[in-house]
Structure 1
Amino acid sequence: MIIPEKLKRGDEIRIIAPSRSASILSVEGVQIAKEKLENLGFVVSFGKHVFDKDLQHSTSIQQRVEDLHEAFRDENVKGILTVIGGFNSNELLPYINYEIIKENPKIFCGYSDITAIGTAISTQSGLVTYSGPHFSSFQMKKAQEYQTHFFTQCLMQGAPFELKPSEQWSDDAWYLDQENRIFEKTEWKTYNGGIASGELWGGNLCTLNLLQGTKYMPSIENAILFVEDDDMTIPETFARDLTSLLQNTDSIKALIIGRFQRASKITEEQLLFILDKHPMLKEIPVLYNVDFGHTQPMFTFPIGGEIQVDASKCLLKLVRF
């Protein structure tokens, strides 16, 4: 896998919208996020069609692909952040020129629906991409320190490091009320102990599963899987989606599950019931309630990178990213 050059102060970050557009963000929110990135030392620029919108608060395939290609072609751009997630980034996959990306490797970061396009870029160009904050995520005030710390550690330096639990987490609508937030103590949990190391694949589970049966789906044989889902899932659909993914392989090395949103109703009891169905998960390291996905804050991790897992000690270490 190709590891893109790390970001440094003074670098230009291009904001693009391969899923929903920035039209759903407030003017104030855009300014806050832009200033946060500028305070980290970056120059922020926007794709041509980022603020356009159609009936579903996105833009045409052609417009989104144009902004993606231009971001990779532009020699001044060193990193690319997606505005936000959505539902339709997989529409772009057949129309992307992956040779452009391969010839101009650079950091590409986002999560949720961006799992589809980030994974496709990794499988088709061999470029490591990143599951981490969107541009819009930098609007958030409280819990931003943890999120920004691991964003910069993953994308601005290359020495191996441990991903550590946050002190507290939240599942409230922070984008509606930045001040009156409810936080709880964080606790990563072990379903099954053990140590493993290997290539990391995953992200948003239902989005990743959209790639099954296509050339964009990665081989997850002997991989370490990271999966999470949002408030639109329920125990039954998560169980079905997880089963579908696990049936893509005879063997994985470890499974790491991001923390669930309250609205999903996936309680600890429900999750353990689901995991107990799969004999293979009793033979490998499995962690859950980990800091990635649709609760806050989140860390950043590499799609196609390498990681070490010690589930007994709840330790995760990025090795090659």
Structure 2
Amino acid sequence: MRIPAKLTLGDEIRVIAPSRSAQVLKVEMVEQTKIILERLGFRVSFGAHIFECDLQHSSSIMHRVVDIHEAFRDPQVKAILTVIGGYNCNEVLPYLDYQMIAENPKILCGFSDITALSTAITTKCDFITYSGPHFSSFRMVQAQEYQLSYFQKCLMEKNPFSLVASSIWSDDAWYIDQENRHFEAASWKVYSEGAVSGQLYGGNLCTLNLLQGTAYMPDLSNCILFLEDDELVNPAIFARDLTSLLQATTTIKGLAIGRFQRASAMTEEQLHFILDKHPLLKAIPVLYDVDFGHTQPIFTFPIGGNVHINTKELRIQVTIF
């Protein structure tokens, strides 16, 4: 698995909208976020069609494809950030020029619905992509230090690093109200003990499941899965979706589950009930309430990279990224 060149200060980051349009953020919010990234030392450019907005808050498939292609084709662009998630990123997958993208490997980072694009590119083009902050995520003020630290470790540095739990977490709508945030003490939890190394795949569970039966789905045999879902899921839906994914592979070596949003009504009792249904999950390391997904803050991890999970130390070592 190839590793795109690391991001350095002064590099150009291209912002694209392969799912929801940047129009949902409003122009002034986009400009504020651009200034934040510039202050961090980057140059920021935008896809030509990111503000187009149709009945489903997106642009046309072809215009999204054009922006993706231009971002990978432009030699000045060193990394690509997605504006935000959404629902329809998988629409673009049949129309991408994977040969061109494979010839121009570069950082692609986003989460949620972007799981479809990242996973497809890693599968078809044989280079690592990243699940981490959207462009819009950088406008968050409180808890940004944890998020930014791991973004930099994963995308700018070359040495292996350890992922450890944030001391706090929040499920606030910070993008509406930055001032009145509510934080709780955070910790990762262990469902089953163990230590294991392997190749990492994952991201948003319901989005990853959309790729089953397509040419964009990777072989998950003997991988380590990182899975999360958003506020639209509930325990019954998560149970169904997890079962579907586990049935799509012969075995996995480890599992990390991102922290659930409050609206999902997922309790520890419900989660253990779901995990107890699968004998495999009692025999491999399984962590939950891990800092990725739709609560804040989140770390960045490499799709297609290699990690080592150690539940005793509550630590995930990222070794190939």
Give the TM-score normalised by structure 2. Answer: 0.99
Runs of 4+ in structure 1 off by over 3 angstroms are none
> CA separation in 2, counterparts of 1:162 and 1:101?
30
Kindly report the root-mean-square deviation, in angstroms, between the aligned alpha carbons of the 2 structures: 0.7
> CA separation in 2, counterparts of 1:197 and 1:33?
36
Q: State yes or no: 1:311 paired with 2:320.
A: no
SS in 2 for 1:317: strand
Q: What per-residue deviation string (whole Å, max 9, x for no partner) do you get for residues 124-153 of structure 1?
A: 000100000000111111111110110011
Shift of 1:249: 1.6
* Residues 162-177 of structure 1: pairs in structure 2 closer than 5 A: 162-177=162-177
* Residues 119-268 of structure 1: pairs in structure 2 closer than 5 A: 119-268=119-268
Q: What per-residue deviation string (whole Å, max 9, x for no partner) do you get for residues 57-114 of structure 1?
A: 1011100000000000000000000000000000011100011111111000000000
> CA separation in 2, counterparts of 1:96 and 1:30?
26
> CA separation in 2, counterparts of 1:79 and 1:66?
16
Q: What per-residue deviation string (whole Å, max 9, x for no partner) do you get for residues 11-34 of structure 1?
A: 000000000010000333212211
> CA separation in 2, counterparts of 1:223 and 1:32?
39
Q: Hey, what does 2:16 align to over in structure 1? A: 16
SS in 2 for 1:211: coil
SS in 1 for 2:226: strand
Q: Hey, what does 1:43 align to over in structure 2? A: 43
User: Is the Cα–Cα contact under 8 Å of residues 32 and 138 in structure 1 kept in the other structure?
Assistant: no
SS in 2 for 1:33: helix
> CA separation in 1, counterparts of 2:306 and 2:117?
20
> CA separation in 2, counterparts of 1:314 and 1:230?
24
Shift of 1:312: 2.3
User: Is the Cα–Cα contact under 8 Å of residues 150 and 299 in structure 1 kept in the other structure?
Assistant: yes
* Structure 1 runs not aligned, ≥5 long: none
> CA separation in 2, counterparts of 1:29 and 1:309?
37
Q: What per-residue deviation string (whole Å, max 9, x for no partner) do you get for residues 188-229 of structure 1?
A: 000001010010000000000000011111111000000000
* Structure 2 runs not aligned, ≥5 long: none
> CA separation in 1, counterparts of 2:33 and 2:287?
31
Identical pairs, percent: 65
Shift of 1:288: 0.2
Shift of 1:35: 1.6
Give the TM-score normalised by structure 1. Answer: 0.99
SS in 2 for 1:216: coil
> CA separation in 1, counterparts of 2:221 and 2:231?
29
Number of equivalenced pairs: 321
> CA separation in 2, counterparts of 1:29 and 1:235?
34
User: Is the Cα–Cα contact under 8 Å of residues 192 and 286 in structure 1 kept in the other structure?
Assistant: yes
Shift of 1:313: 2.0
Q: What per-residue deviation string (whole Å, max 9, x for no partner) do you get for residues 211-257 of structure 1?
A: 00111111110000000000000000000000000011221100000
